[in-house]
Amino acid sequence: MKDTIIIIISILLVFTIFFIIQRTYTIPSNVSAITASIQQHLEEEISSIKEYDISQSTSKIAIFEYGKKRGYAVFKENYFNKKLKIIFVKKNILEKNINIIHTNRGNYILLSGNYHRKIDYIVVKEGNTNHLFEVTLFNENIGNLYITLETIPRKLTDTMLNDFTLYNKDNKPVY
């Protein structure tokens, strides 16, 4: 009797968790639905959008234009229903910003900002240790949005990203 109750409770718990997850991933994985969800956050009309998968993971970035500005949004896809949920939206790609993107393939650093030279590397300081990561632009025509090419250690946190330095291919700091 006791085992039966535990099994029933376990099954109900699994279905409840599954139902909650399904309700948070509501955006169909198509351009029009992604555009509509971003427009809802911005309350402005988007004129163009480009999607990029993050390293064959279930996460993607959408770079969009509205008015004369560019922004970006990060989405995650649900394994079961293949729908998306929006993680965050940044209204201006030229504003300096750095985030850790958590994907099912590992963590990546996403960096945006109006830099005067192309960025090739980012160095993140963790106490006395420096972590060097190569970065790449998403699209040469868009510019100002970079992502690490390799995953970053899980121990690096968003607060550690406050102490970083950017370098170009000649190992000169980029400001």
DSSP per position, 21-68? HHHH--B-SSHHHHHHHHHHHHTS---EEEEEESTTSSEEEEEEEETT
Question: Which of 115, 113, 42 shows the shortest CA–CA distance to 73?
Answer: 42
Rounded distance, CA 5 to CA 135, Å?
A: 53
Let me know whether 72 and 108 are in one domain: no
Positions of the chain with pLDDT under 50:
none
**Are residue 154 and residue 106 in the same domain, yes or no?**
yes
Structural domain tally of the chain? 2
| One domain, residues 59 and 120 | no
pLDDT of amino acid 22: 67
Considering the domain architecture, whether residues 152 and 107 belong to the same structural domain is answered as: yes
Same domain for 87 and 107?
A: no
Reported as a single tens digit per residue, the pLDDT across 21-50 is: 667 888 999 999 999 999 998 888 999 999
Whether residues 75 and 109 fall in one domain: no
**Boundary (domain end) residue, out of 65, 92, 119:** 92
Q: Which residues pair with 63 in a beta bridge?
A: 50, 72
Residue 126 shares a structural domain with residue 159: yes
Residues 58 and 128 both lie in one domain: no
Same domain, 108 and 158: yes
**Residue that is last in its domain, among 62, 92, 122:** 92
Asked if residue 101 and residue 83 are part of one domain, the reply reads: no
Pair (83, 111) in one structural domain? no
pLDDT of res. 47:
92
Q: Which domain holds residue 37?
A: 1-92
Which of residues 63, 92, 121 is at a domain's end?
92
Q: CA of 60: how far to CAs of 18, 67, 72, 76, in Å?
A: 22, 23, 10, 6
d(CA 161, CA 109) in angstroms, rounded, equals: 9
Do 66 and 143 have their domain in common? no
Query: pLDDT tens-digit profile of 127-146?
Result: 888 999 999 998 877 778 99
Taking the C-alpha atoms of residue 96 and residue 140, their distance in angstroms, rounded to an integer, is: 18
> What's the confidence (pLDDT) of residue 13?
87
